[in-house]
Amino acid sequence: FAGRDVSDHPRWRRRELMIVACDTSPRYFKPIVGEYIDPKIPDVLCKVWRGWVEWGGWEGIVLKSAGPYRVSVMRIKARHDVDYVCTGFEMGEGRKIKSVIGSMFINGELVECVRAAGLSDFEKREIYRERKARTGQVFRVLAHAVSEKGTARHPVFNGWHADKPAA
């Protein structure tokens, strides 16, 4: 805190110092310094999620256990499910696909927005065999965030839409 190591201070004092630091920080750097949340009350966590992540644009929530012997941390991040039109493939080694190239219609034009990786070895081989037939089909991507221009942050391929046309 202010250039000093406060790790040897009691927890209550470190928390006070964190609140002071957060109150003097810009909004984009303010973590939630919450009270103890009873695990029997999931409503509180839902309200925090809606208020900070869904409406506030924050990336997610970090939960930390306060056990005396071992510290466990859980990160809960927002995920977005986005559809793209397959306009090509990035080739990997051998007869495997490295990523699926996805585009979106923006102002009537098909614009490349994503290279979705995260394919299993089975999917890489299967898509390689079917790559000509898959071009032009719609596929799903899971991402941490999506920009206004349709680009996805940390995009992961999540399957094909057999029921959705590209146009």
For position 35, what pLDDT does the model report? Answer: 47
The predicted structure's pLDDT at residue 30: 44
Which positions ≥6 away from 72 have C-beta within 8 Å? 64, 65
Low-confidence ranges of the chain (pLDDT < 50): 26-37
pLDDT at 28: 42
* pLDDT value, residue 32: 47
pLDDT at 105 (0 to 100):
87
In this prediction, residue 136 carries a pLDDT of 92
pLDDT tens digits, residue range 35-57? 444 555 567 777 877 888 777 77
Task: Write 104-113 long-range contacts (CB < 8 A, 24+).
Answer: 104/150, 106/149, 106/150, 110/85, 111/149, 111/150, 112/87, 113/84, 113/149, 113/150, 113/151, 113/152
